[in-house]
Structure 1
Amino acid sequence: MRARLITVGLFGLIGAAILVSLGVWQLQRLAWKEGVLAEIDARISAAPVAVPATPDPVADRYLPVTAEGVFAGDPLRVLVSVQGSGPGYRLISPFEADGRRVLLDRGFLAEGVALPEPHEGPITVTGNLHWPDEVDGFTPEPDIARNQWFARNVDAMAAHLGTEPVFIVLREMSVSDAPVTPLPVTSEGIPNNHLGYAVQWFGLALVWLGMTAFLAWRITRRTA
């Protein structure tokens, strides 16, 4: 009996140690991820600069920029649902500034609401460069006839609207764009599930120890 109890005890302690180490590792990942998110938040809210001549999708992601120009064509619509506002569309307009045509994500327009009248004259916009990763194998192709897209695909939208693959997500505009509501870039959508994973590993370690104690109790009962 003693040998069996020792084997069960060692098995239980080693298994629990592995599970606890995985939980600790997730806590370390949590601290790392919180640091990354803090850096992203600081970058998003930094002072805006002019749009780089050749922005890099990695190095310049979230870069705050400002530009003065005009809307240069009808917007395309990306289907989206906003909590508290229901279904609607993101309006993506071509924007001409300093001799360049870029993409401008103006924000949310509720379903059934008419587009605002085009603005005349120059407009100053402030926002953040972004390259959203929203397309996967389940994303439908855009319905060009109905002007309805199902994800923000920078390259495809740029080709359709005849712009550079440079995408500005609006934060502020020098004139009112109502009823369009800006949906600025934030870090809220970036996953950070490490705390939940850590709790799961620690919980499994407790279950493992409980099962080990129960098995040891069963052994002692059988030999009593």
Structure 2
Amino acid sequence: MRRLIFLIVVGVAGLAVLLSLGMWQVQRMAWKQQILDIIDSRVDGEPVSLPENPDPVADKYMPVRLVGELVEGGLHVLVSTRSLGPGYRVIVPFVTDDGRRILVDRGFIRTAAKNTVLNTGKVELIGNLHWPDETDSYTPPAEIAANIWYARDVDAMSAALNTLPIMVVLNDHPVNGSFVIPMPVNTASIPNDHLQYAITWFSLAFIWAAMTAYFLWRSRQNRELT
């Protein structure tokens, strides 16, 4: 009898855990899709002038047109993509025509191009406002001496480059040259694989339930034989 109770308790507990994980992935899928829908609805709009005081929530992904000057200096954020391999995102200061100094994400350069001098000067740019959420407790601190960052941290980067905490991710532009590959804000690089994860957890729950039922049946059969 104790063995039977033990099997029921373990079976129910394991099934509850697996089902809860599956439901959590379903919720995550809806949350991720909401974010993707927000990005899609904002990024392709008509570019507007940079707001006087951009809001990190209300104005995130807003397409903007910048007129001003790309200046020297910049930060390199270590990244790697399936199609491009390892390299860096280049974050540089930009001074708008009304005197505001902000951050501009120019795009991707390969590792070998890290020390290449980028074009600077007066220019008109189009991009999207962005406040990336890329840092957590596992993000290594920036290697300041080597100029290697491990995430786009708008507050920290603005302090390092003496800019406002505003970042514009640049769309493709001739000023970048052929060796800078644009990495604009879009949903193509943001996977939503939570449905697959949910199916996996629900499948494991079904298998667990089937195994529990089988062991309960076997236990009952053994008791009847004895």
TM-score normalised by the chain length of structure 2: 0.79
Query: What's 1:60 paired with?
Result: 59
Gaps of at least 5 residues in structure 2 are none
Percent same amino acid at aligned positions? 47
SS at match of 1:219: helix
* One-letter amino acid of the counterpart of residue 95, structure 1: F
Query: What's 1:70 paired with?
Result: 69
Contact 1:116 1:179 (C-alpha < 8 Å) held by counterparts = no
CA gap 1:209/1:48 in 2 versus in 1, 3 angstroms: same
* One-letter amino acid of the counterpart of residue 199, structure 1: I
* One-letter amino acid of the counterpart of residue 203, structure 2: G
Shift of 1:162: 1.4
Shift of 1:55: 1.0
Number of aligned positions between the proteins: 221
Q: How does 1:138-157 map to 2 (within 5 A)?
A: 138-157=138-157
Query: What's 1:127 paired with?
Result: 127
* One-letter amino acid of the counterpart of residue 73, structure 2: D
Shift of 1:29: 5.4
SS at match of 1:210: helix
CA distance in 2, matches of 1:17, 1:49: 51
CA distance in 1, matches of 2:86, 2:219: 58
Query: What's 2:165 paired with?
Result: 165
CA distance in 1, matches of 2:57, 2:125: 22
Residue-by-residue CA offset, 1:134-193 (whole Å, 9 max, x unaligned): 223333332333222222111111112111110011113253532111111123555634
The more displaced of 159-168 and 15-24 is 15-24
CA distance in 2, matches of 1:178, 1:222: 76
The more displaced of 168-177 and 183-192 is 183-192
Shift of 1:105: 0.4
Query: What's 1:92 paired with?
Result: 91
Query: What's 1:118 paired with?
Result: 119
CA distance in 1, matches of 2:193, 2:96: 40
The more displaced of 72-81 and 60-69 is 72-81
SS at match of 1:62: coil
Residue-by-residue CA offset, 1:16-72 (whole Å, 9 max, x unaligned): 699668746754653454244223222122222211111111121111111111112
CA distance in 2, matches of 1:29, 1:176: 37
CA distance in 1, matches of 2:93, 2:145: 18
Gaps of at least 5 residues in structure 1 are none
The more displaced of 138-147 and 50-59 is 138-147
Query: What's 1:212 paired with?
Result: 213
* One-letter amino acid of the counterpart of residue 147, structure 1: N
